[in-house]
Amino acid sequence: MEKPSLLGCNAVIRYIKGVWGQLGLFGKISLIILLNLVLMAVFAPYLTRHPHHVSSGPPLVPPGAGHLLGTDDLGVDLWSMICFGARVSLMVGLFTALLAGLGGGIAGIIAAYRGGWPDRVLMRIVDIMVVLPDLPVMIVLAVFFGSSLHNIIIVLALFSWSMPARLIRSQALALKEQAYIKIAAHYGAGMGHLFFRHFLPELFPLMMVSMIRLAGMAIVTEASLSFLGLGDPTSRSWGLIINHAVSFRGIYFTPFWKWWLVYPWIFLTLLVSSLALLGRDLEGIADPRIMK
Amino acid sequence: MKKMLSLMSTAILLLSLVAGCFPKGGVEQKAAPDAGEKKVKEETVIVRLEGGDWGYPTPFAHYSRGPGSAKTAYIFDSLLERDEKGNIPWLAERWDILDDGTRYVFHIRPGVKWQDGQPLTARDVAFSFNYYRQYRPVSISDMVMDQNYLLQIKVLSDMQVEFTTVEANATFLETVGRVRIIPEHIWSGIEKPEEFLEPAAVIGSGPLRLVDYNKEHGTYRFEAFMDFWGPRGALDVLEFVPVSDAVLALEKGEIDLAGIPADVLSRFKNNPAFTAIENPAFWGYRLRFNMEKLPEFKTKAVRQAFAYAIDRQELVDKIARGEAIPGSMGILSPHHHWYNSDLPSYQRNLEKAKELIVGAGISHKPSYDLLVAGGEEVRIGEVLKEQLAMAGIDIKVTSVDMKTRDARITEGNYELVLVGHGGWGQDPDYLRARFSSAETTWTSGTPGYSNPEVDRLAAEQLKETNEARRKELIFTLQQLLAEDVPEIPLYLTTGHNVFRQDVYDGWVHVFDHHAPTHNKLSYLQR
């Protein structure tokens, strides 16, 4: 019972400190970038002078004093759009990761602990989900369900819970054989108790790693769907800014791409690569066998 | 696998960035040998244009938009054709107008052959009309379909066909003159013409014949028809090929003509290999109200409020990048030869717009769904949303693909819809087709809109064969429409087409059409 409770505040701080110490250089930089992006999204209204959904100047103004990163073809301030767009990207990342990571994790634990038919059914579903090509199916679903942020999150989650489920299941299978769990079960601990007391705390780091990976994947996929014109066309996600820029006729022959296209792309790349690098480092911490 | 996905998506994004980085070198290299060879020998002239699927080019299977009907017209001739100035004799060598304009006798040009070698006679002409009256093609005038108006089509001899109508009609010649003539020996047994997609279905008498069509890739290949009756073909092959970016494709020589946006034009204007031509403003966007679904749109003041709230010049500047002219509330394009310039201009006036809305007595906060297709139209939708919001009108922009949007217009399934199309330079009878309450279809008419005076003038101009008097009627009609605002023409694009003159330079604009690629005269030696 000495295991640190996840809910204990001090324990969390200690945990985070521990993780920070174990992170490599890239991991640390990534974490800082991520935190900055999150702050940018949260404090978007305070960081921007211009509205993000209506025009605030002449169209296609290059970056300068009036408009930090310039404006798009409608005269909407690009910095504002990127700040508020961060909310869309992070939301998609966060919620998809939560839905798919937790959902998949729970499914994995149930499959592992119960065994028998729930295990077989769940794992067959996972097999099917793994072989289904994601992007084409997502495109079809996005077209079918219409393009709203909720739908995109749900569709993304539906397609990404299978990997964490499989990963967590294999770990949970090993955990199930541990003496303390067997003893706890022997003394009459129910599924719920075991789940919250033992499985979840033990497997949480692993789930966290999957979730970070999922977030990165979800953000890129949302951008791709938006880029392909399947997102909500009037939202201001990064993918859509890129989509509008790319569909501006002849943009590469004009100077406009230097800000209209490059800045959202830089932010998207920063976010996704930070997530990837952080995920890699955390993976090493959660499962030392991966890092040599 | 997730990694693959991320990689793929990133690759898409990256590629689109990189794609722009190497356009300059390719052009000069490719242009030079082309030009050189042409001087030495009479080589095959192959012209390539931007592709896209516009349906199988038969009168029944093409998609009902300009590029679709244009491809059909390359293959199938009509009685009349258009040149820079007006209508010209085509399959009909000449015609007589008898009995006060109720009887027309067309004299068919002798020696015309179908692309399978059979001769074309007056029987084919009569057959085509009667066949269309039995099976409706993709686009045809209601006048031709109306059994109570067009009473009879009779073959007088091998080379003469007679049309009898109830009364004179100012647009009769032009309307009948544009109907595609199909061969009787091929179509007579066909009962489901829209499913007739055999090679025989694309045998016409026109200067080009279809040799290949790929729906999935959106490619077409036309070759010159050697036994064409008329002017010699100026090119041997016309291909429609898929391109991802028209500007790039034109520079790299993948296609030989493209519409070039304003910001890029200078690039081509300074290059002697290219020539730019400006299009007349006969292609435009209009905002349509669904007066059946939302009765408040039947109130003139509400529609006028929209007109005052929308800054059309801003749309021209932002979306068309200045290459357009704001639409006239009298509907006809300002470039139309019968455009009435003496109309209320509806300069932007937000106060007035708000007043009108209040005066109209709408109890709820006005909030409407605006249906748009993808791409540029989304941007127009966003600007409209912003502009109308300033007048207190809420707009929710819904974007679907173009074919879905068109289908929803046909069903009347929208509140406000944005639609762009050509044809604004055609005979002004389209004012009747759009706004006469006798027109009840969603595609051409405006269900729910009714103004007896508009109806009267629309009907009167149709019967008026005196050109000056008809022009007066059309001018008055524009005044009425500008007052009523049954729809809002937002802007009409001018824009430039740039072509490689070393490959092909026969492009012409016919008098009422915006696209030089849509008329067959562009492909003929004249």
pLDDT > 80? residue A288: no
Q: Could you say which DSSP state residue B520 is in?
A: G
Would you state the pLDDT for residue A229?
65
pLDDT-based confidence at residue B49 (cuts at 50, 70, 90): very high
**Averaged over A85-90, what is the pLDDT?**
91
DSSP readout, B236-253? SEEEEE--S-HHHHHHTT
Q: How far apart are CA B115 and CA A218, in angstroms?
A: 56
pLDDT > 70? residue B4: no
| Share of residues in chain A with pLDDT > 70 (%) | 93
The model's pLDDT over A144-165, given as tens digits with 9 standing for 90+, comes to: 776 677 888 888 888 889 888 9
Place of tokens 């006005």: B366
Domains of chain A plus CATH, in order, are 26-286 (1.10.3720.10)
Task: Test A223 with B9 for CB contact under 8 angstroms.
Answer: yes
Of the candidates A55, A247, A250, which has its C-beta nearest B263's C-beta?
A250
pLDDT > 60? residue A100: yes
Tokens for A158, please give them: 């539906």
CA of B350 vs chain A CAs: smallest distance (Å): 17
Would you state the pLDDT for residue B448?
92
Contacts of A224 in chain B (CB under 8 A): 9, 12-13
pLDDT-based confidence at residue A202 (cuts at 50, 70, 90): confident
Task: Test A74 with B8 for CB contact under 8 angstroms.
Answer: no
Would you state the pLDDT for residue A291?
46
pLDDT > 70? residue B495: yes
Would you state the pLDDT for residue B152?
93
Give the Å distances, CA to CA, from B209 to A223, B45, B49: 43, 15, 16
DSSP readout, B365-388? PPEEEEEE-STHHHHHHHHHHHHH
Q: Which CATH superfamily is domain B80-187 in?
A: Dipeptide-binding Protein; Domain 1 (3.90.76.10)
pLDDT-based confidence at residue A131 (cuts at 50, 70, 90): confident
pLDDT-based confidence at residue B29 (cuts at 50, 70, 90): very low
Note the CATH number of domain B6-74+195-277+497-523: 3.40.190.10
Q: Which residue from B minimizes the CA distance to A54?
A: B386
Q: Could you say which DSSP state residue B355 is in?
A: H
Q: How far apart are CA B301 and CA B355, in angstroms?
A: 9
CA atoms within 13 A on the CB side of A2: 0
Would you state the pLDDT for residue A8?
67
pLDDT > 80? residue B363: no
Question: Would an 8 Å CB–CB cutoff place A130 in contact with chain B?
Answer: yes
pLDDT > 70? residue B56: yes
B333 close to B424: Cβ distance less than 8 angstroms: yes
| Share of residues in chain B with pLDDT > 90 (%) | 74
pLDDT > 60? residue B357: yes
Tokens for A169, please give them: 């299941």
Tokens for B194, please give them: 């829209």
3-state secondary structure B80-147: EEECCCCEEECCEEEEEEEHHHCEEEEEECCCCECCCCCECCHHHHHHHHHHHHHCCCCCCCHHHHCC
Domain(s) labelled CATH 3.90.76.10 in chain B stretch across 80-187
Q: Residue B426 in 3-state DSSP?
A: coil
Which A residues 110-129 touch B at CB under 8 Å?
none
- The H or E element that residue B213 is part of is strand B208-214
pLDDT-based confidence at residue B469 (cuts at 50, 70, 90): very high
Phi, psi (degrees; rounded to nearest 5) at B333: -65, 140
The model's pLDDT over B440-468, given as tens digits with 9 standing for 90+, comes to: 888 888 999 999 999 999 999 998 888 89
Give the Å distances, CA to CA, from A117 to A112, B132, B286: 11, 64, 60
The model's pLDDT over A115-127, given as tens digits with 9 standing for 90+, comes to: 889 899 999 999 8
**Averaged over B359-372, what is the pLDDT?**
88
Q: Name the pTM for this structure.
A: 0.79
pLDDT > 70? residue B10: no
Domain(s) labelled CATH 3.40.190.10 in chain B stretch across 6-74+195-277+497-523
pLDDT > 90? residue B32: no
CATH top-level class of B283-493:
alpha beta
Distance of CA B320 to the CA centre of its chain: 18
* From A197-201, B6-10, B203-207, the region with the lowest mean pLDDT: B6-10
B84 close to B508: Cβ distance less than 8 angstroms: yes
Domain(s) labelled CATH 3.10.105.10 in chain B stretch across 283-493
The residue of A252, A256, A266, A267 whose CB has the most chain B CBs within 10 angstroms, and thus the best one to mutate to test that interface, is A252
**Averaged over A161-179, what is the pLDDT?**
88
Would you state the pLDDT for residue A21?
83
More confident residue, A185 or B60: B60
pLDDT-based confidence at residue B349 (cuts at 50, 70, 90): very high
The residue of A50, A163, A227, A254 whose CB has the most chain B CBs within 10 angstroms, and thus the best one to mutate to test that interface, is A254
- Candidates B314, B322, B318, B341; CA nearest to B330 is B341
Q: What value does the mean pLDDT of chain B take?
A: 89
Would you state the pLDDT for residue B526?
79
3-state secondary structure chain A: CCCCCCCCHHHHHHHHHHHHHHCCHHHHHHHHHHHHHHHHHHCHHHHCCCCCCCCCCCCCCCCCCCCCCCECCCCCEHHHHHHHHHHHHHHHHHHHHHHHHHHHHHHHHHHHHHCHHHHHHHHHHHHHHHHCCHHHHHHHHHHHHCCCHHHHHHHHHHCCCHHHHHHHHHHHHHHHCCHHHHHHHHCCCCHHHHHHHHHHHHHHHHHHHHHHHHHHHHHHHHHHHHHCCCCCCCCCCHHHHHHHHHHCCCHHHCCCHHHHCHHHHHHHHHHHHHHHHHHHHHHHHHCCCCCC
Torsion over CA: B468, B472, B474, B475 (sign): positive
**Averaged over B42-54, what is the pLDDT?**
90
Other CB atoms closer than 10 Å to residue B355's CB: what's the count?
15
Give the Å distances, CA to CA, from B165 to B101, B176, B431: 8, 12, 22
Would you state the pLDDT for residue A113?
86
The model's pLDDT over B399-412, given as tens digits with 9 standing for 90+, comes to: 888 888 999 999 99
Other CB atoms closer than 10 Å to residue A174's CB: what's the count?
9
Place of tokens 């209040």: B358
Q: Please list the residues that pair with B239 across neighbouring strands.
A: B48, B221
Question: Would an 8 Å CB–CB cutoff place A253 in contact with chain B?
Answer: yes
**Averaged over A23-36, what is the pLDDT?**
92
* From B106-115, B127-136, B266-275, the region with the lowest mean pLDDT: B266-275
Q: Which residues contact A194 (CB under 8 A, 6 or more apart)?
A: A113, A181, A184, A185
B524 close to B232: Cβ distance less than 8 angstroms: yes
The CA angle A219-A224-A230, to the nearest 5 degrees, is 110
B263 close to B75: Cβ distance less than 8 angstroms: no
Contacts of B399 in chain A (CB under 8 A): 147, 229, 233-234
Beta pairing class for B283-289 and B487-493: antiparallel
Q: How far apart are CA B513 and CA B491, in angstroms?
A: 16
Would you state the pLDDT for residue A289?
57
